[in-house]
Amino acid sequence: MLNKVILIGRLTREPELRYTPSGAAVAKFTLAVDRRQSRDREKETDFIDIVVWQKLAETCASYLGKGRLVAVDGRLQVRSYEDNQGVRRKAAEVVAENVRFLDRAKEGSVAAGGAALGSEGGGYGSEISFNEDDIPF
């Protein structure tokens, strides 16, 4: 069986960092990902919830912000929960294993971009060149 998701998109808002009762860091953010359309149709955008755990969650919360371009790879998770009115709901989200910053932070912000982060320990890498025209969607 294989459950692998790879996305490139922009954050719709600042990551939300929280801690579980046991002290584990968890961050959530939403990626806006363009969907390829035929030439005569306007492009469409999907908004995909991303969940990041542990040190990667803290790093994303510190260095990412609204509008930042990132690549995320991880696995799709579908969970069910009960809302405030007692209605059973389902939520689909991507649990990120790796996050790569694909652009530089805006002038005056904390982050400088170019970082590759992930479950392998990650860390700050070298800057990569990136052109929006290279993306196929």
User: Distance of CA 19 to CAs 41, 43, 92, 113, 130, Å?
Assistant: 43, 37, 21, 25, 34
Enumerate domains of the chain plus CATH numbers.
Answer: 5-121 (2.40.50.140)
Please give the model's pTM, rounded to 2 decimal places.
0.74
pLDDT in tens, 77-114: 999 999 999 999 999 999 999 999 998 876 655 544 44
pLDDT in tens, 22-63: 999 999 999 999 987 777 777 889 999 999 999 999 999 999
Identify the pLDDT of residue 43: 82
Structure tokens given for 86: 């007692």
Structure tokens given for 63: 């260095």
User: Distance of CA 10 to CAs 44, 52, 74, 131, Å?
Assistant: 14, 16, 16, 14
CB atoms under 10 Å from CB of 42, counted, come to 5
